[in-house]
Amino acid sequence: MEPADFEARAAELLGAGAHGYFAGGAGDELTLRDNVEAWRRIALAPRVLVDVSERDTSVTVLGRRRPHPFVVAPMAYQRSAHEDAEIGTARAAAATGSTFVLSSQTSTDPRAVAAAGGAADRWMQLYVFRDRGLTDDLVQAAREGSFEALVITVDFPFGGWRDRDRRSGYVVDHAPYVQLSGTPLTPAERHAMHDPTLTWDDIAGFGEASGLPIVLKGVLGPADAERAVQVGAAGIVVSNHGGRQLDTVLSGAAALPAVVDAVAGRIDVLVDGGVRRGWDAAKALALGADAVMVGRPVLWGLACEGSDGARRVLEQLVTEFDSTLGLLGCPRAEDLDASYVVAPA
């Protein structure tokens, strides 16, 4: 099976509830679809007669050189996709030189994920729960597991309106690491774990408590990007949470240029939502992103072939990205700029 077939095959393999949870978005899923379409609408503008015999796909993020710009997005409950779960995804990331972000709603103990990933790059995504003890435990696990950064997700004061989950009545089929009780929790109960009182005033405290750089995930506008700089974040992820929170918000691709302008190189900017092909990543870097996060495609690979499937998805993205640099006449990823794309008017 080709990685391109994983999405359809995963729909057959997974139960309707789990598949709807993984695939679905908020409301009418307009943003979910627009995330993918927005990258497709941006045209590439190649240069010719450039020596592209050697290419350099590497980028620098959080002060560290990385072999390519693909970061595995944090995704909850990966055991519902495949028994390899987060350990499988972390191994796939390590095998492909991808940075791996572990969700707060991991099915697997972060220390076990860290052990499986070895020396590979990994960040911990942090949800701030009403029960701060749960959040503190995750920060502690991040320190013990040598996670390099904390990715605080700021677009989830509570869960989005997700019709697929409401209709299916989906209940997570295993006990995640952060488990409030032995009883399986419905999505609504899980959504209610999140602390909706979280504000900008709280962010610096997480950096101080953890000693780790903070990346804020879920910023969509220049004013919030500026505030992220002011509170000392090391980076932001321009993201609408894969279209799962508020339907009809703008795509990461559309939001990116204004955020990049506002940040003006002071901190790193990542983007996610709808990145499906290597050339999508090239467009993101051309518009000023330092790296991209990829979500569902990795999950589909995991669901179909476990860790090997997730690895194959990432390998294909990296190969496509490398090929894009060559055919675009821009052999170094870090030389991509706005002259290589034509965005829709």
Ligand X SMILES: CCCCCCC(=O)C(=O)O
Ligand Y SMILES: Cc1cc2nc3c(=O)[nH]c(=O)nc-3n(C[C@H](O)[C@H](O)[C@H](O)COP(=O)(O)O)c2cc1C
Residues near ligand X (CB under 6 A): 76, 105, 156, 159, 187, 190-191, 241, 244
Using CB under 6 A as the binding criterion, the count of chain residues that bind ligand Y stands at 24
From the list 67, 90, 74, 92, the residue with the least C-alpha distance to 6 is: 92
By C-beta, is 241 or 312 nearer to ligand X? 241
Render the burial of 305-329: b for 16+ CB within 10 Å, e for the rest: bbbbbbbbbbbbbbebbbebbeebe
Residue type, 264: A
CB of 245 to ligand X, least distance (A): 7
CB of 223 to ligand Y, least distance (A): 21
By C-beta, is 96 or 125 nearer to ligand X? 125
From ligand Y, ligand X, none, interface partner of 295 (C-beta below 5 to 8 A by class): ligand Y
From ligand X, ligand Y, none, interface partner of 187 (C-beta below 5 to 8 A by class): ligand X
**212 dihedral zone (left: phi>0; alpha: psi -120 to 50; beta):** beta
Q: How far apart are CA 169 and CA 251, in angstroms?
A: 28
By C-beta, is 57 or 104 nearer to ligand Y? 104
Sign of CA dihedral 336, 340, 343, 345: positive
CB of 244 to ligand Y, least distance (A): 6
DSSP sequence for 114-143: HHHHTTS-EEEEE--BSSHHHHHHHHHHHH
- The residues, any chain, with a CB within 8 Å of residue 282's CB and separated by 6 or more, are 44, 321, 324, 325, 328, 330, 333, 336, 340
Region binding ligand Y by CB under 6 A among candidate stretches 40-48, 52-60, 103-111, 314-322: 103-111
Q: Is 241 labeled as catalytic in the residue annotation?
A: yes
- End-to-end CA, the chain: 38
By C-beta, is 281 or 328 nearer to ligand Y? 281
Binding to ligand Y, residues 235-294 (CB under 6 A) = 239, 241-242, 244, 272-275, 293-294
Site string for ligand Y, 69-98 (x = CB under 6 A): ----xxxx----------------------
CB of 205 to ligand X, least distance (A): 22
Binding to ligand Y, residues 19-48 (CB under 6 A) = 22, 35
CB of 115 to ligand X, least distance (A): 24
When asked if residue 125 is in the footprint of ligand Y (CB under 6 A), the reply is: yes
When asked if residue 168 is in the footprint of ligand Y (CB under 6 A), the reply is: no
By C-beta, is 86 or 322 nearer to ligand X? 86
Q: How far apart are CA 312 and CA 314, in angstroms?
A: 5
Per the annotation, binding residues for glyoxylate are 21, 127, 162, 241, 244
**241 dihedral zone (left: phi>0; alpha: psi -120 to 50; beta):** left
From the list 337, 250, 344, 221, the residue with the least C-alpha distance to 285 is: 337
**Nearest to ligand Y by Cβ — which residue?**
295
Contact 87, 114 (CB under 8 A): no
Residue 108, H or E segment:
none
CB of 38 to ligand Y, least distance (A): 11
Binding site for ligand Y (CB under 6 A): 22, 35, 73-76, 103-105, 125, 153, 217, 239, 241-242, 244, 272-275, 293-296
Catalytic residues, which ones?
241
